[in-house]
Structure formats: structure tokens, C-alpha cells
Structure 1
Amino acid sequence: LQGPFTTTFVPHLFHKSIRVLCNANTSEGFNPNKDASLPEINLITSEIPRLGGQPPSKRSTLAFFAGGLHGHIRYLLLNEWKGKDQDVQVYEKVPQRVSYEKMMKSSKFCLCPSGYEVASPRVVEAIYAECVPVLISDGYIPPFSDVLDWKLFSVQVPVKNISDIKNILMSISNRQYLRMQRRVKQVQRHFLMNGPPKRYDVFHMIVHSVWLRRLNIRIQDLLT
């Protein structure tokens, strides 16, 4: 997460290298033509994460978020929605006897607001739980956008529209939601870490992202 900050001290790295960054924030100099966005993955154990969740018909919660209050976007989200709506369940800490994982696996949409940094591991956690991610950020370039059309399997909400989240999600028809949720399941394999790597997993997707940017940059651009 310190990559953007560190490279600002070395202009040659900042301007001439292909940077692979979790904090893919265009407001901090991330250049999608030259830099690659890296998914932020929270590896709790070395085991493959438990994928899947409730079928769409049994996902009783419209939207869910639980996370620490850091960064102005989360402050706005919690101030607007914390404890105020049973359909949009927003917590700073998950209540006792409530499972964070089960909530993600039983929600239709999982809210993924930026914190101190623009990226959040909740994006990948939502994909693992087959919960349609709702990206709440400004200036964020989602991973692998060259080949994955995020509009087909996620909802992108500008920060200025946080107060309108419920209306935005309610306006998505059940037919449209089912298509998005099915596509979340289809892209899961691109966010899995395997040892050794497997075809089309996150390792190969990152390498492919770097390869694509190499096509945009000439060797002399990198050396001069």
C-alpha cells in the first residue's frame, strides 16, 4: 500500500516503470495505461478460501458492510447508514453472535468502501462469497479492467451518492441481479491464489496485466 508514496521519491520509478499496485488511485498518480491494479487479498490461512454462499433466493439481506471507521468514505457511509435500515446493514463491528462470513454469504450486495487507501480486501471477499460487490470510491481502477467488465458483475457508486445506495440497489431488477451474481461466480477463478499457479488464476491475471502494459510502453521510454 506504500508503493505510490514510495515511488514519488524516485521520479524514474514513478514515471518510467510499470507499477503493480493495490492502491490503484488515479488521484495519487496511478496511470491505468502504464500501471497495473493488483487485487487486495486478505490471506488468513494458506488454505483455499471457502467459496460460495446462499443461493440468490435465500439471500435475505439487500446490502451488508462491517469494518473499521478509517478514511472519510467510511465515515460518510457509517454516518448515513449505521443502525438505520434493516435492508442496508452497516456496522463498525459485527454484533455478537453474528458471523461476518455468513452475512456476506447471505447478502445480495456487499458494500466495499475505500478506507485510508482506495482498495479494500472486501472486494475479493465479496467475490468469494458470491455477493455482488458495491464499489464505493472515487478514482479507483478495479483489477484486470482490461479484460473484465466490472459493470457486468459489480455496482459502482460514487462517494457523493452514498445516501442513495438503497435506491440504487433497489432499482436493479431481480433479473439483472441474477445475471450479475452469476457473473460473480464466473470471475471467481481470476481472484484465486493457487500454489502452484493454475491457468487464469490471480497470478496469471497479474502477469497478463503487466504484459498488456508492456505493449503500451517502448523500451526506450523506460530507459530514458
Structure 2
Amino acid sequence: MMKTFKIWTYKEGDIPLVHNGPMRYVYSVEGDFIEEMERTGNPMAANHPDEAHAFFIPISITNIVYYLYSPTEAHNFNKRMQAIFKDYIAIIAKKYPYWNRSNGADHFYVSCHDWGPHVSKGNHKVFSNLIRVLCNANQSEGFVPRRDVSMSEINGPSNNIPNVIKGESPYNRSILAFFAGKVRGAIRVKLFKHWGNDEDDDIQVHNHLPKGQNYTEFLSRSKYCICPSGFEVASSRLTDAIYTGCVPVIIKDHYVLPYGDVLDWSRFSVQVPVNKIQDLKKILQEIPFSRYLEMQKRILEVQHHFKLNFPAKRFDVFHMILHSVWLRRLDVRLTE
């Protein structure tokens, strides 16, 4: 793929809504991807659109929300956001032949914002073929795995490059399972109902960590890290766990796991149905230690696939995203 796949990034549009995006916090992968695609020297960037196999639409949904959202116009914001996106498509479709020859099937955009899926819902006929690369990969809200790409959410720190560590040895991890976060959404309500107390040292579920306690240290000392949905299915806790060598316990409905075309999540994570949350401790304790060791070893082996680098390095998260786009692009037949 890296030797042959070429992507053209459209030049139209102005900062900050286009060619720019968040570089920190939970939406950082959106801005980092735009930055990498437009970086001078990116080997996968096409020199001319005629050479391209796929076309990147460098709109930042997060920046549209940040700069244009107003609580007084909240009821109408979805339509406004969709109109901005549709206008951009109209410009490139009029100026170039590429959108029309495939009806957008070799075009893609990248968004980690919760509202990322909504921009393409304004006109189903126009956007039915467009590849959407989303953190919020929820099949119940219209995510289509054969067309769309599930992307990992990454909580980027102020220096923009999250640290990836091994954490404690699997033999020294004293906490069976850990979660810390706000009570957002029905799944977390259920999680806190059953496990949100200080009575069980094995399953530690915190709304707020005790003063002076370090989140990363808790992850590093835990065998399993609980990754429930919040208001939406996407969460950076999945990558938080992987970055610290902690086996993710995924508790989500209708979620399409990132890069599932090539990664077998069953080999390095545990999926617990929402209706089994009350049995969480029993489920984890019944996993043989030898099985846990295998999963933890594989977590360390797949870490580099979720790592953010700038510039990008082979097999990192940037290339995992593009590989997923490439697989979907292979099914597209162009009409000249």
C-alpha cells in the first residue's frame, strides 16, 4: 500500500474550518491527520490529482463546531454544519471531475467529533458513497462498516505526542479492573450502579480519582481497563488502556472496533455485554491467568498500530487509517 497508494488533498477552503484541526485532547487525531496529509514530504501525497487513488476532504468538523456553534442556534446547527460541508463538495465537484466519476466513493473525510457522522446526513443521495472515517463508529446511528472506517480516539497532551509505555509487569498489576471518568450515558450509569463504590478493591470505578492520584499510574497497575460508552460509543479510554499495556474491557453497544479488517480484537481485549455488567468481576476472574498473559503480550505487540507519530511512521495509527480507506477504495470502479 505505502508504495502505490496516493491521496490528493483538496486545496480549496480557508483556515480555520479547512486545512486545520485540533491538535490536543480527545479530538486530536482529527487535526493530526489533516496536518500529516498536508505535510511537505508526505510520501503518500499525490503530486497531481490525476495520480490519486483517493481524495481527502480536509474539513475539520471539530473546528466548525468550535468556531460556529452558538447555544442560541443549537436547534439549527446540524443543518448549518451540513450546508457548509455540502457547499465544499459542490465547489470541488464543479472544479474537478473526480467526485462525479465515482459519486464520491473514492473520497473521504476524517472526524473524531461526536457530531462527525451528522455532516453527511444532509443529503443521502449525494453522500451515500462517501467514505467516513469516524471515531463515533456506531452502527445504530448509520455507520456502515463496508463503506466507513472506524478510527481510534486519542487523547493528545499539550506536546501533541501521547506516550506509549509498557506499564507494570503483568505479574505485578495489583488491580483487577479500573475505570475513572464522568457518569455519562446509560452504560456508565449501570457501571457505577454496580461497581461505583469503595467496597471492592478488585473492581475500581471512580468518578473522580482521590487527590494526588495519577490516572496513568492506575492504568499501569491494572490488569484490565474498563472502556464503556459515554454519551457516544467513542472514547479515548480504549487507547489509554493500550498505551499502558492494560487489556481493554469493552462495554459498548453497536460499536465497530477500529481497524478490524486486520486486527483480531478477541486476541487482546475482552468484550462484555451491557446486560452482564453486574457479572463483570466474575467474568474477569474466570479468565485463566495464562489467557490474560497472552492478551497482555499482544497488547504490547499492537501498541505501535495506535501510536501517533509526527511525521508518521510505518504501521502507526496514520497508516492504519489509510489502510482501512485503501481497502474500501479497492471496491470502487471509476467511470471516466
Smaller-chain TM-score bracket: over 0.9
Q: Which residue does the alignment assign to 1:74?
A: 188
Q: Structure 2: where are the runs of 5+ without partners?
A: 1-113
From 72, 96, 111, give the equivalent of 2:211. 96
Distance 1:82 1:13 in 2: 46
Q: Percent identity at matched positions? A: 50
User: Relative to structure 1, is the Cα distance of residues 51 and 139 closer, same or farther in structure 2, using a 3 angstrom cutoff?
Assistant: same
* Most deviating of 195-204 and 12-21: 12-21
Q: Secondary structure at the residue paired with 2:128?
A: helix
TM-score (norm 1): 0.95
CA deviations 1:73-109 (Å, max 9, x no partner) are 1111011101142100001111122211100000000
- Structure 2 residue 254 is matched with structure 1 residue 139: yes
User: Relative to structure 1, is the Cα distance of residues 49 and 12 closer, same or farther in structure 2, using a 3 angstrom cutoff?
Assistant: farther
- Structure 2 residue 321 is matched with structure 1 residue 206: yes
Q: Which runs of 4+ in 1 moved over 6 A?
A: none
Q: Structure 1: where are the runs of 5+ without partners?
A: none
Deviation at residue 48 of structure 1 after TM alignment: 4.2
Contact 2:155–2:162 (CA under 8 A) maintained in structure 1: no
Q: Secondary structure at the residue paired with 1:56?
A: coil
Q: Which residue does the alignment assign to 1:125?
A: 240
User: Relative to structure 1, is the Cα distance of residues 13 and 174 closer, same or farther in structure 2, using a 3 angstrom cutoff?
Assistant: farther
Q: Which residue does the alignment assign to 1:190?
A: 305
User: Relative to structure 1, is the Cα distance of residues 50 and 200 closer, same or farther in structure 2, using a 3 angstrom cutoff?
Assistant: closer
From 152, 169, 172, give the equivalent of 1:58. 172
Deviation at residue 130 of structure 1 after TM alignment: 0.2
Distance 1:89 1:159 in 2: 18
CA deviations 1:169-189 (Å, max 9, x no partner) are 111101000000000000000
- Structure 2 residue 113 is matched with structure 1 residue 17: no
Deviation at residue 215 of structure 1 after TM alignment: 2.2
Deviation at residue 7 of structure 1 after TM alignment: 1.7
* Most deviating of 138-147 and 78-87: 78-87
- Provide the aligned C-alpha RMSD in A: 1.4
Distance 2:253 2:164 in 1: 30
Structure of greater relative contact order (alpha carbons < 8 Å, 6+ residues apart):
1
Q: Which residue does the alignment assign to 1:216?
A: 331
Q: Which residue does the alignment assign to 1:39?
A: 152
Distance 2:270 2:150 in 1: 18
Distance 2:219 2:291 in 1: 19
Distance 1:133 1:81 in 2: 17
Deviation at residue 44 of structure 1 after TM alignment: 1.1
Contact 2:149–2:258 (CA under 8 A) maintained in structure 1: yes
TM-score (norm 2): 0.64
Specify the structure having the higher radius of gyration (Cα).
Answer: 2
Deviation at residue 219 of structure 1 after TM alignment: 3.8
Contact 2:177–2:203 (CA under 8 A) maintained in structure 1: yes
